[in-house]
Amino acid sequence: MRIVVCCTGMKAAPWVAGLEAALPGAVVEEWQAGAPPADHAVVWAPPQQLFDEQPRLKGIFNMGAGVDALLQLRLPPEAALVRLDDAGMSVQMAEFVCHALIRHFRELDGYEQDAAQGRWSFRRPRSRAEFPVGVMGLGVLGQRVAQAVAAFEFPVRGWSRTARAIEGVQCFAGPAQFDAFLAGTRVLVNLLPLTPETENIMNRATLGRLLPGGYVINVARGAHLVDEDLLALVDGGHLAGAALDVFRTEPLPPAHPFWRHPKITVTPHTSARTLRDESIAQIARKVRAFDRGEPVAGVVDLSRGY
Ligand code: NAP
Ligand code: GLV
């Protein structure tokens, strides 16, 4: 079995070594133009040229959960596209979202500013009941986040494409229930995949339906959010602010207003990182299952786009 590795922005050598160790007998090499035909590709942000030169790939294993960028390329029609399933991401996402939520709810930024001025002052405790949290996307990551938020005793609601039942989470599904989901949500957490249906889903109309004093935590993709609509709603006072981890253009350009907005927190697409060892172990397990003809979790449904 021959595997090519191509990961733009990451070092390929540790992935090659890790996959070789996990798949004894496989030939694993960093992809280069003109490489011999491979059975599988393990990729992050590869160039179109890789797929043009490797039309016989059987499996394309993404080193991340989101496949939106890959779906912009022309992939070999016979190849299965396989995403990472958790691989250590869901606990990171849960801690990141809970941190952003609690920092906002407990006004920790305000306390930090007070402390910087040597000021010992209290803010009035807020009621959790007035901070219902709505999680858009109840998949591998969204479910874990919804449960983690529920453990802090916030009212939690969730929205997905098909109906879900999750203990402690009031579930909504599909376009017909979207408005009702938004109307009872104060803190909106986005964990949707980026697809034609979900692009620009957070805009002036939808964010305007959140409860007054709403807060947005976007940890999925930048193109889910219409930047200027968020800014208008924050500046107009309907939204209290946002914690943004993902952006339309990454790195976020230095002149972008998000960087300096006092009510917006920016992090550099770091809420759930690909963990190399966990990911290599998962991809190796999937490659073996795939080659034995067994079902593999995380195969992307190209018609849905995730
Ligand atoms: P997933 O398991 O595929 O779950 C996707 C969820 O979104 C599912 O619940 C799905 O509904 C729902 N959904 C999809 N299209 C929808 C639509 N049109 N309307 C309503 N709900 C819809 O994905 P995941 O592993 O949780 O990852 C989610 C996203 O997080 C990734 O695609 C990626 O963009 C992002 N991500 C970001 C980072 C970061 O560091 N910032 C890291 C990893 C992932 P069903 O349940 O009905 O299928
Ligand atoms: C990161 O954003 C991922 O999709 O894994």
Residue 282 confidence (pLDDT): 98
Q: How far is the CA of 193 from the centre of ligand 1 (A)?
A: 4
Same-domain status, 250 and 280: no
Residue 67 lies in a domain: yes
Residues of the chain with pLDDT under 70: none
For residue 302, report the phi and psi dihedrals to the nearest 5 degrees: -65, -25
The whole-angstrom separation of Cα 218 and Cα 241 is 11
Residue 42 confidence (pLDDT): 98
Residue 141 confidence (pLDDT): 98
Same-domain status, 36 and 174: no
Judge if pTM exceeds 0.95: yes
Same-domain status, 82 and 127: no
Residue 245 confidence (pLDDT): 99
23 lines ligand 2 (CB under 6 A): no
Same-domain status, 82 and 94: no
From residue 208, give the alpha-carbon distance in Å to each of 231, 232, 247, 255.
12, 10, 20, 26
For residue 104, report the phi and psi dihedrals to the nearest 5 degrees: -70, -50
Residue 304 lies in a domain: no
Asked if 214 and 207 touch (Cβ cutoff 8 Å), the reply is: yes
Counting ligand 1 atoms within 8 A of each CB, the residue from 81, 145, 192, 247 with the most, and so the one to mutate, is: 192
Residue 197 confidence (pLDDT): 98
- The encoded tokens of residue 254 equal 């230095």
The domain of 78 spans 2-87+274-291
Could you give the residue numbers annotated as active site?
221, 269
Same-domain status, 76 and 190: no
Residue 38 confidence (pLDDT): 98
The whole-angstrom separation of Cα 300 and Cα 62 is 10
Residue 78 lies in a domain: yes
Same-domain status, 121 and 252: yes
Strands 27-30 and 40-44: unpaired
Which CATH number belongs to the domain containing residue 148 in this structure?
3.40.50.720
Residue 41 confidence (pLDDT): 98
137 lines ligand 1 (CB under 6 A): yes
Q: Kindly report the protein residue whose alpha carbon is nearest to atom 4 of ligand 2.
A: 66
Region label for 25, one of left (φ > 0), alpha (ψ between -120 and 50) or beta (otherwise): left
Q: Which of 126, 193, 125 is nearest to 161 (CA)?
A: 193
Strands 40-44 and 59-62: parallel
Residue 219 confidence (pLDDT): 99
Please give the DSSP secondary-structure letter assigned to residue 169.
B
Same-domain status, 133 and 244: yes
Same-domain status, 76 and 110: no
Task: Kindly identify the ligand whose nearest atom is closest to the C-alpha of 192.
Answer: 1
State how many domains the chain has: 2
266: β partners? 244
Q: Kindly report the protein residue whose alpha carbon is nearest to atom 37 of ligand 1.
A: 220
Q: Which of 91, 152, 108, 158 is nearest to 265 (CA)?
A: 108
Residue 110 confidence (pLDDT): 97
